[in-house]
Amino acid sequence: MSKINEQYYLFQFVESLNEDAFITGKRIEDTVYENPQSACIAGRQMLEAIIEHVFNLENIDQYGMSLFDKINYLDRKGYFTQEAKQSMDTIRVIGNKAAHEPKFDDVEKAIKVFKEIYKIARWYAEVYSFNLEIPEYRNPSPPSSNDQNPDEIIEEVMERLRKQKGEAFRGEGVTGNETSITPERKSENKQEDSITPVIPYELPANQSYLLKELRRLQESSQEAVDSPEDFSELKDYMHVDRQIQIDLEKILSTEQKTGGPSLVLLSGSVGDGKSHLLSYLNNREDNLLKGYRIYNDATESFDPQKSAVETLTEELDSFSDQRIDSADDRVIIAINLGILNNFLEADHGEKSFNKLKEFINNSHVFEANIQEKYSEGPFHIMSFSDYQPFELTEEGPRSSFFELVFEKVFNTSEKNPFYAAYLKDKHKGINVSIHDNYQFMMNKTVQHHVIDLLINTIVQHKLVISARSLFNFIADIVIPEGYSTMEDLLSVDSEKLNHTTPELLFNRKERSYILDAMNDLDPIHYRSKKTDDVLIALNTLDDWESIISELIEDKTPYKWFEDYIEMKKELGEVTNATEQSIFKALIRTAYLTSEDLNEQVRPESFDKYMKYLYAFHRYDKKLIQDFYTKVPEAMFYWMGSPKKDYIYIDNRGTFKIAQHLKLNPSLAHLEQLQRNSNGAVIRNFHTTLTVAYTSTDQEYKAELNVDYHLYKLILAVLDGYRPNKKDEEDAIQLIEFVEKALKFGSYKKELLVHIPSEHKLYRLEKNVFGSVVFERDEHL
């Protein structure tokens, strides 16, 4: 039975549109595995058949034009999608290579051609036919044979690919001090034997140990579910001591030395680590929990007939006003702030909890004040929201928590299950995108820059990054989408550059809320002289190798660009789409690996804002004064001013009314911040800057909370930007501050009337006798 009758050819959808293209497409699919050279040459021929037909359909004279000339012409006229243009360059260069190398036998390249020509065929059918049903992409099917099962053919091909890639993998080595492993030395290699306890299972030849281990970090994994009773080996390995754990252990240690009732409230939000912390203590420090009952999830009720608040009322019965003096109950409750507030507001019938309510009020847990822990009598409360995952230092923000987590995943210790899995894959000869990404993330510079980006998302986008979401993020930037077994090499690794960590980090915003924020921080959004020079060089120079090698020194990411270096050498000219794609990937990769480019591209405003944040907590009056002057100055720019120290109250219409205004800085709240900070490293803080001003007589006071978004708007206003209506809607806090601050002015005693069209300014004021004086002001 022929293949066409037994199984549908992928390119059969173009048969009615272009029979020559379909016949050539059949040849590609028939020869991908058995004769990659023929398949790659056929890919170029199918491209030529499609382009020639487009010229005929559009009645364009193509006499004397090369394939590149035709592609370039149609590109300038706007015919192609971005994706189709890049695919054409790929097919041309691989087709040329196959035609000129007699021993060409690269199955991976043939599969890549098959996938790229599908993209072009899809574009072709979508544009030039209205009734064709275009199938979803699938990998090429093996040819039918009476002698061999198709699955056996696939396995042969996969084994061939594994050998090709494995030889290169074993020859490269990895970051660290591991020794090279070869199949012949497996039983003798001590390193391979030492990792067996860490990876105590065996996988089939077509599956990756590294993929299996990294998937355990994903939020969809069972490992992501925490309970005090469940503390797996992975959770134990991944555990990192944090300040809130240390503070809780101190409280519990003190309580173990005393008698009587004890209530410890761990407050916060969903997924912030309350359950993991209780799980850790229950399994590793159970002596501290002696005598305590643990109520892990106060958002749920044990009885479907009762609400969470009713259940909580029962759990806290010993701490009611009626029983607390005689009770000796000890309870630890993990509770979200919303449920805690609902409990305090609820009617508890015959029971009352006034002592507990007073304690909660005194703790200020519902207020903006930083109060990470608070104790009073038998009551203790700790708020996860007041423990930041990063610290402020004089050199800039850093996160010991993020650093330790990254170290857990990417260190080269034999106790690291992820690295052990990486080595086992290496021993099997498996080397695909996920391994390149893992090796890339072993680079300390890359880790440092990724952590900087995470801190930026917390400050700029107000993200809450729990341990659970951090683990998931790490998996997301190492594991390409659609990656499950080695067979996925056929579809994923054929587009290797699109599945590298820099692309997964900045160009996959749909995968998680963290990656959505990362998309806004993509370095290609920020212009600098360095990035401009790179773009110009890619557009004007033929020697892409020197351009790329200057920016990318790490050999792992450098490999990602080798095909494009070869493409430029082979073709000379490539489409603008390919140049843009290389530019974006190059800048993203260099941003993570190069200190120099990172320094030039990263937004200066963020670094400055973090310096101010540190200065406010350290009571550095020089920097505080610098920031305090910006707010009134921006306010005057925002509202407009006819002359120095005068601000418009109303700047609409023909006449503009202004008043004299002077804002006096108030620093009392900053003195409190300084008292709360200990040492040169600040661990407990809010990510907003609060400024306060009083009227001249200090009768009135106005405060403004400036977050990073508002700070950038203030800088833009000072740079001459005129705010629009959307800016006013987004900066509602600033508008309210301006309205309050305007009341500090002299409008009750003096006003200026400005007539811009006549360039005239008049003063309206009361004299010492109480009479109103209206006169021309010459100081315009």
State the pLDDT at residue 185.
35
Rounded to whole angstroms, the Cα distance separating 282 from 135 reads 54
Coil/strand/helix, residue 582: helix
State how far Cα 194 lies from the chain centre: 35
**Confidence check: pLDDT of 585 > 60:** yes
**Residue 176 located in a structural domain:** no
Q: Answer yes or no: do 692 and 594 share one domain.
A: no
Rounded to whole angstroms, the Cα distance separating 75 from 86 reads 11
Contact present, 645 and 661 (Cβ < 8 Å)? yes
Nearest to 45 by CA among 104, 13, 4, 92: 92
**What tens digit of pLDDT does each residue of 360-375 get?**
888 888 776 666 788 9
Mean pLDDT estimate for the chain:
83
Element spanning 647, H or E: strand 646-650
State the pLDDT at residue 106.
86
Rounded to whole angstroms, the Cα distance separating 342 from 582 reads 54
**Residue 228 located in a structural domain:** no
Contact present, 746 and 662 (Cβ < 8 Å)? no
DSSP 575: -
Nearest to 332 by CA among 386, 255, 236, 385: 255
**What tens digit of pLDDT does each residue of 475-500 get?**
999 998 877 655 554 455 556 788 99
Residues with Cβ within 8 Å of 343's Cβ and at least 6 positions away in sequence, in order, are 309, 312, 313, 316, 353
Phi first, then psi, for residue 150 (nearest 5°) are -55, -35
Tokens standing for 642?
Answer: 């006819």
Element spanning 88, H or E: helix 82-100
Rounded to whole angstroms, the Cα distance separating 380 from 356 reads 10
Rounded to whole angstroms, the Cα distance separating 604 from 346 reads 49
Nearest to 649 by CA among 664, 634, 660: 660
Q: Answer yes or no: do 433 and 558 share one domain.
A: yes
**Confidence check: pLDDT of 434 > 80:** yes
Which residue range(s) make up the domain with 638?
A: 614-776
What is the mean pLDDT of the segment spanning 65-90? 87
What's the domain count of the chain?
4
Q: Where are the alpha helices (DSSP H) in 380-443?
A: 400-410, 417-428, 433-441
Q: Answer yes or no: do 513 and 438 share one domain.
A: yes
Contact present, 386 and 372 (Cβ < 8 Å)? yes
Residues with Cβ within 8 Å of 136's Cβ and at least 6 positions away in sequence, in order, are none
**Residue 323 located in a structural domain:** yes
Percent of the chain with pLDDT over 70: 85
**What tens digit of pLDDT does each residue of 405-414 get?**
999 999 999 8
Q: Answer yes or no: do 311 and 272 share one domain.
A: yes
**Residue 222 located in a structural domain:** no
Contact present, 391 and 683 (Cβ < 8 Å)? yes
Q: How many other C-beta atoms can be found within 10 angstroms of the C-beta atom of residue 595?
A: 10
State the pLDDT at residue 157.
62
Q: Answer yes or no: do 596 and 623 share one domain.
A: no
Rounded to whole angstroms, the Cα distance separating 659 from 748 reads 9
What is the mean pLDDT of the segment spanning 737-758? 88
Tokens standing for 277?
Answer: 């912390």
Q: Answer yes or no: do 618 and 760 share one domain.
A: yes
DSSP 335: E
State how far Cα 249 lies from the chain centre: 32
Residues with Cβ within 8 Å of 388's Cβ and at least 6 positions away in sequence, in order, are 458, 683, 684, 685, 687
User: CB-hemisphere CA count at 13 Å for 564?
Assistant: 29
Nearest to 439 by CA among 414, 452, 422: 422
Q: Answer yes or no: do 460 and 597 share one domain.
A: yes
Q: Answer yes or no: do 138 and 266 share one domain.
A: no
Task: Out of 120, 144, 168, pick the residue that ends a domain.
Answer: 144
The structure tokens 């890049």 sit at 86
DSSP 682: B
Rounded to whole angstroms, the Cα distance separating 723 from 129 reads 48
Q: Which residue has the higher pLDDT, 470 or 181?
A: 470
State the pLDDT at residue 512.
92
State the pLDDT at residue 676.
58
Task: Out of 353, 386, 419, pick the residue that ends a domain.
Answer: 386
Rounded to whole angstroms, the Cα distance separating 745 from 658 reads 10
Q: Answer yes or no: do 586 and 633 share one domain.
A: no
State the pLDDT at residue 151.
54
Phi first, then psi, for residue 526 (nearest 5°) are -110, 120
**What tens digit of pLDDT does each residue of 84-132 get?**
888 898 899 899 889 888 889 888 889 889 999 999 999 999 999 878 8
Nearest to 262 by CA among 200, 328, 320: 328
How big is the chain by its Cα radius of gyration, in Å? 33
Q: Answer yes or no: do 583 and 697 share one domain.
A: no
DSSP 160: H
**What tens digit of pLDDT does each residue of 324-341 get?**
888 889 999 888 878 888
In this structure, the chain runs to a length of 780
Residues with Cβ within 8 Å of 62's Cβ and at least 6 positions away in sequence, in order, are 52, 55, 70
Tokens standing for 619?
Answer: 């009571």
Coil/strand/helix, residue 415: coil
State the pLDDT at residue 419.
96
Q: What is the CATH number of the domain that holds 68?
A: 1.20.120
Coil/strand/helix, residue 277: helix
Nearest to 676 by CA among 668, 664, 685: 685
**What tens digit of pLDDT does each residue of 562-575 get?**
888 888 877 777 77
Whole-Å CA distances, 271 to 218, 512, 513, 684: 13, 15, 14, 20
Contact present, 217 and 512 (Cβ < 8 Å)? no
What is the mean pLDDT of the segment spanning 425-450? 92
State the pLDDT at residue 708.
95
* DSSP per residue, 36-83: HHHHHHHHHHHHHHHHHHHHHHTT---TT--HHHHHHHHHHTT-S-HH
DSSP 398: B
**Residue 235 located in a structural domain:** no
Residues with Cβ within 8 Å of 580's Cβ and at least 6 positions away in sequence, in order, are 82
Contact present, 459 and 467 (Cβ < 8 Å)? no
Rounded to whole angstroms, the Cα distance separating 185 from 754 reads 90
What is the mean pLDDT of the segment spanning 42-57? 94
**Residue 483 located in a structural domain:** yes
Q: How confident is the model at residue 21 (pLDDT cuts 50, 70, 90)?
A: very high
Contact present, 455 and 393 (Cβ < 8 Å)? no
Whole-Å CA distances, 318 to 266, 314, 325, 378: 18, 9, 9, 11
Residues with Cβ within 8 Å of 705's Cβ and at least 6 positions away in sequence, in order, are 688, 689, 690, 733
The structure tokens 């219409």 sit at 653
Rounded to whole angstroms, the Cα distance separating 523 from 556 reads 20
**Confidence check: pLDDT of 6 > 50:** no
DSSP 322: T
Q: Which of 183-192, 260-269, 441-450, 635-644 has the lowest mean pLDDT?
A: 183-192
Q: Are strands 760-766 and 772-776 parallel, antiparallel or unpaired?
A: antiparallel
Q: Answer yes or no: do 510 and 593 share one domain.
A: yes
Q: Answer yes or no: do 506 and 486 share one domain.
A: yes
**Residue 180 located in a structural domain:** no
**Residue 675 located in a structural domain:** yes
Tokens standing for 378?
Answer: 């038998």
**What tens digit of pLDDT does each residue of 288-321 get?**
989 898 887 655 545 556 777 888 888 888 999 9
State the pLDDT at residue 53.
94
Q: How confident is the model at residue 177 (pLDDT cuts 50, 70, 90)?
A: very low
